[in-house]
Structure 1
Amino acid sequence: MGGKILNIPVTEETKVKKGTVLMTLDSTDVDMQIEQLRTQIAQFNPQISQQQSINLGYTRAATQEKQARLDIAQAQVTESKSQAALQRALLLKRDYHIPLFQQAQLAADYLCKGHRQHLCTSL
């Protein structure tokens, strides 16, 4: 730490206690350095906030992408189940000559088994 000495309240070979002020420095230079550093910090704050916003945007986009992939996978599972139900209904029609209304009901019942219980209430 640099600075101009303003005051030396003790003399050579004087006994001092812990905490006794040995000299007082002019803090003008240090105060200016502190103010410059505060100014630099203030200039960096908007950049830091902007970077944090960008990072948050990337995180949200990645989360949305993952959710979209999950939605696609769920839609593919639902499509596969629908295809299976349709195939089952077609086989029943072919093998047992079941009327179309009953085929639809059997396909709906097949889809409603398991995790898709909410489909049953809409049919």
Structure 2
Amino acid sequence: MAPSDPREVRAALDAALEAQAMLDGVEPVKKSSGNLQSENERLRAALSRMAFRPLVGGVRSVGHATYVLGVPGAWGLDEAVIQARYRFLASIFHPDSGLIPDSERLRQLNDARSILLRHLAEE
């Protein structure tokens, strides 16, 4: 499961960007007050590329819901895991306060959470 602490997410993104820069033969960005804005934009872009792509037609199945929430499958999930994952991703995609404001992604997160919670209740 992905880290839920924003500092862990940032450290993972930093490591991914540094590794990609090395593969590209580019000097990794050095942290200084002058380029923090640029680094934040790069991290947002990397996060956006790694995030789920909204599904055409919306979330319609348990499989779609697990994809949107980024969990390996419905087996072994419980309400606490679903809610924690939803809150983490909603904080990223919320149109008013997220790192990557995206109302369509948030709408699909809401649908995915509802589908998985309903699936758990039926079991």
Note whether the superposition's TM-score is higher than 0.5.
Answer: no
- Higher-Rg member (1/2): 1
More helix by share: 1
Structure with the greater relative contact order (CA < 8 A, sep ≥ 6): 1 or 2?
2
TM-score norm. by structure 2 comes to 0.28
